[in-house]
């Protein structure tokens, strides 16, 4: 268009100089909107050619970047025993590096966004919450957070200290803050819901914590729901080659309207069996966290029902008609046995069950008079060992033990309710897509619950070690408690002990046969990328 206008001016001058009659000026064409940039039909571009020269020059000219290398440190104290039986305390320092980016200055502080798994360490190490180089059962006694140049930066004087403003485990996001002014990201917050497959993305972070780097890639899946461990959010998947240390990196897309970058997500994990399958938390879910420093409400576990009279009736009926009233509880097996008077008996077994079938703990769950009182109330408690069971009366229980037992019984109730619901869903799970999805959701919830209750299961085993019948204490047969419990205050000895009574036979149970569950191959596990 510019060349055509210049040519027209030259022609007009020539005609005027020759004395020829000047032709009438042509009617200017109607003004049309400029054509859209190539590969830019949606909200975000499919090609870097849509990036405006101004935005490109701005990014290349920036001397101080808005992404920062974050060093997270902790010290764990581990207890052990020396040769003379004295307690030894050893402390192990650990550190990890990730990425954070500044997005706002507020009240004299700079706010940064990163991943929750970058800034937080577990309170106590365990199989469910491991820390590299630290044994299970160690307690965190110290932690710290700061901005460093890179993972090799050991000069502490110029480190910028950070503090935590709010964390959201479901989103795997955290807002941290610095009292030192930092360069803030110049780009606006976009819309992750508008991201489509093949959109190009730009990721800024510190791979392996070594240096500031920019990775490029494309969206290969616009939606992926994340329910790994405590996570519960929506992701999209990109093929950018990212590494540990990139956790918390901003993921930018190019706006078709402005030609500038927009923040559409935060990189937080990758598939362990995929070379370039990296998942990004959609930024739409993080707006409340970023703007109001408020985490999302904790979700209720899918498939769980309230612990009320109806849930108790379902558990009692399921235990009555089934020949296998067992369910998983942490790393152990539990069972529930109904009694004719409406009482439920919850039994927790050792890890090598059924090789050894004596229970560690048997808890009596008594029915309540009113449906408004909930599931039930705590009754008697027996602790078990190789010799049998021994009742520990309420007078033998201090306040701390009573609280532990109440939490244990509540968890047993919930796990039994969930496990029975899942088991009941299996025979008809292939009838329709809806029933299949329902059964799959129950299975995932059950898996998370098993992991969450491992510590509680181990604590119950420790209680059994403390309170199981000793060599000189009278013990009661397991069958006497589970099939015909003695009245309060009455002890039934072993059948071969003086005063032992023959055991009445238990009424037969219905077989309640069920179809075996189909085996399915699970999706590759995700791995947090920050550590």
Q: Are residue 365 and residue 249 in the same domain, yes or no?
A: no
Q: What is the pLDDT of residue 99?
A: 97
Q: Are residue 356 and residue 244 in the same domain, yes or no?
A: no
d(CA 392, CA 308) in angstroms, rounded, equals: 27
Q: Are residue 321 and residue 448 in the same domain, yes or no?
A: yes
Q: Is the pLDDT of residue 113 over 50?
A: yes
Q: Are residue 249 and residue 397 in the same domain, yes or no?
A: no
The model's pLDDT over 259-285, given as tens digits with 9 standing for 90+, comes to: 999 999 999 999 887 778 999 999 999
d(CA 312, CA 344) in angstroms, rounded, equals: 9
Q: What is the pLDDT of residue 410?
A: 93
- Hey, how many other C-beta atoms are within 10 angstroms of the C-beta on 464? 18
Q: Is there a domain that residue 36 lies in?
A: no
Boundary-marking domain end, from 457, 481, 505: 481
Q: Is the pLDDT of residue 430 over 70?
A: yes
Number of domains making up the chain: 2
Q: Is there a domain that residue 276 lies in?
A: yes
d(CA 364, CA 323) in angstroms, rounded, equals: 20
Q: Is there a domain that residue 141 lies in?
A: yes
Q: Are residue 184 and residue 122 in the same domain, yes or no?
A: yes
Q: Is the pTM of this model over 0.85?
A: no
| Of residues 99 and 61, more confidently modeled | 99
Q: Are residue 324 and residue 288 in the same domain, yes or no?
A: no
Beta strands in 283-398 (DSSP E): 326-329, 332-338, 344-349, 359-366, 377-385, 388-391
Q: Are residue 249 and residue 377 in the same domain, yes or no?
A: no
Q: Is there a domain that residue 29 lies in?
A: no
Q: Are residue 191 and residue 160 in the same domain, yes or no?
A: yes
Q: Are residue 72 and residue 213 in the same domain, yes or no?
A: yes
Q: What's the average model confidence in pLDDT over 401-427?
A: 92
Written as six digits, the tokens of 470 are 């000793």
Residue among 117, 147, 151, 162 at smallest CA distance from 266: 117
Banded model confidence at residue 510, pLDDT cuts 50, 70, 90: very low
Q: Are residue 325 and residue 445 in the same domain, yes or no?
A: yes
Boundary-marking domain end, from 481, 496, 515: 481
Q: Are residue 242 and residue 370 in the same domain, yes or no?
A: no
The model's pLDDT over 433-484, given as tens digits with 9 standing for 90+, comes to: 888 888 888 888 888 888 889 889 999 999 999 998 888 888 888 888 887 6
* Mean of per-residue pLDDT scores for the chain: 83
Q: Is there a domain that residue 282 lies in?
A: yes
424: Cβ–Cβ under 8 A, 6 or more apart, which residues?
Answer: 318
Q: Are residue 323 and residue 284 in the same domain, yes or no?
A: no
Q: What is the CATH number of the domain that holds 68?
A: 2.40.10.120
Q: Is there a domain that residue 17 lies in?
A: no
Q: Is the pLDDT of residue 140 over 70?
A: yes
Q: Go through 323-359 and write b for each residue having 16 or more CB atoms within 10 A of its CB, e for each that does not.
A: eebbbbbbbbbbbbbbbeeebbbbbbbbeebeeeebb
Boundary-marking domain end, from 465, 481, 497: 481
| Of residues 26 and 415, more confidently modeled | 415
Q: Is there a domain that residue 488 lies in?
A: no
Domain range for 221 is: 60-292
Map tokens 């039930």 to a residue: 376
Q: Is there a domain that residue 119 lies in?
A: yes
Q: What's the average model confidence in pLDDT over 190-205?
A: 95
């Amino acid at each position: 268009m510019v060349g055509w206008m210049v040519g027209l001016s030259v022609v007009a001058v020539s005609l005027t100089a020759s004395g020829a009659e000047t032709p009438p000026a042509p009617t200017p064409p109607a003004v049309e909107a400029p054509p859209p940039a190539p590969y830019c039909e949606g909200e975000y571009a499919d090609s870097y050619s849509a990036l405006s020269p101004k935005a490109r020059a701005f990014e290349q000219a920036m001397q101080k970047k808005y992404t920062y290398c974050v060093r997270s440190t902790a010290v764990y104290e581990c207890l052990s025993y020396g040769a003379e039986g004295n307690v030894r305390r050893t402390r192990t320092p650990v550190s990890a590096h990730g990425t954070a980016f500044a997005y706002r200055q507020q009240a004299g502080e700079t706010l940064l966004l990163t991943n929750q798994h970058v800034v937080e360490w577990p309170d106590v190490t365990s199989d469910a919450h491991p820390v590299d180089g630290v044994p299970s059962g160690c307690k965190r006694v110290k932690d710290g957070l700061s901005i460093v140049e890179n993972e090799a930066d050991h000069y502490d004087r110029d480190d910028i200290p950070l503090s935590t403003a709010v964390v959201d485990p479901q989103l795997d996001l955290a807002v941290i803050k610095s009292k030192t002014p930092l360069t803030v990201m110049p780009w606006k917050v976009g819309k992750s819901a508008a991201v489509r497959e093949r959109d190009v993305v730009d990721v800024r972070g510190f791979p392996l914590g070594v240096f500031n780097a920019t990775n490029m890639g494309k969206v290969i899946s616009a939606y992926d729901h994340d329910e790994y461990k405590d996570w519960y959010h929506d992701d999209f998947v990109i093929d950018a080659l990212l590494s540990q240390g990139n956790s918390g990196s901003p993921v930018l897309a190019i706006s078709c309207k402005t030609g500038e970058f927009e923040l559409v997500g935060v990189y937080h994990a990758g598939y362990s069996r995929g070379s370039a399958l990296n998942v990004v938390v959609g930024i739409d879910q993080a707006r409340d966290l970023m703007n109001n420093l408020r985490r999302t409400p904790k979700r209720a576990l899918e498939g769980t029902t309230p612990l009320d009279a109806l849930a108790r009736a379902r558990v009692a009926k399921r235990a009555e008609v089934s020949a296998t009233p067992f369910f998983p509880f942490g790393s152990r097996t539990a069972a529930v046995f109904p009694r004719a008077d409406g009482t439920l008996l919850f039994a927790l077994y050792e890890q090598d069950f059924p090789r050894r079938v004596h229970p560690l703990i048997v808890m009596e769950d008594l029915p309540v008079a009113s449906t408004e009182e909930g599931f039930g109330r705590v009754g008697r408690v027996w602790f078990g060992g190789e010799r049998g069971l021994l009742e520990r009366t309420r007078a033998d229980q201090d306040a701390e033990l009573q609280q532990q037992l109440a939490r244990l019984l509540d968890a047993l109730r919930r796990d039994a309710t969930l496990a029975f619901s899942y088991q009941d869903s299996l025979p008809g799970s292939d009838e329709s897509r809806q029933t299949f999805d329902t059964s799959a959701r129950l299975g995932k919830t059950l898996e998370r619950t098993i992991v969450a209750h491992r510590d509680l299961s181990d604590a119950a085993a420790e209680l059994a070690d403390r309170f199981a019948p000793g060599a000189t204490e009278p013990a009661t047969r397991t069958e006497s408690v589970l099939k015909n419990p003695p009245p309060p205050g009455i002890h039934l000895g072993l059948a071969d002990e003086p005063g032992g009574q023959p055991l009445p036979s238990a009424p037969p149970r219905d077989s309640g046969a069920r179809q075996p569950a189909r085996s399915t191959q699970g999706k590759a596990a995700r791995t947090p990328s920050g550590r």
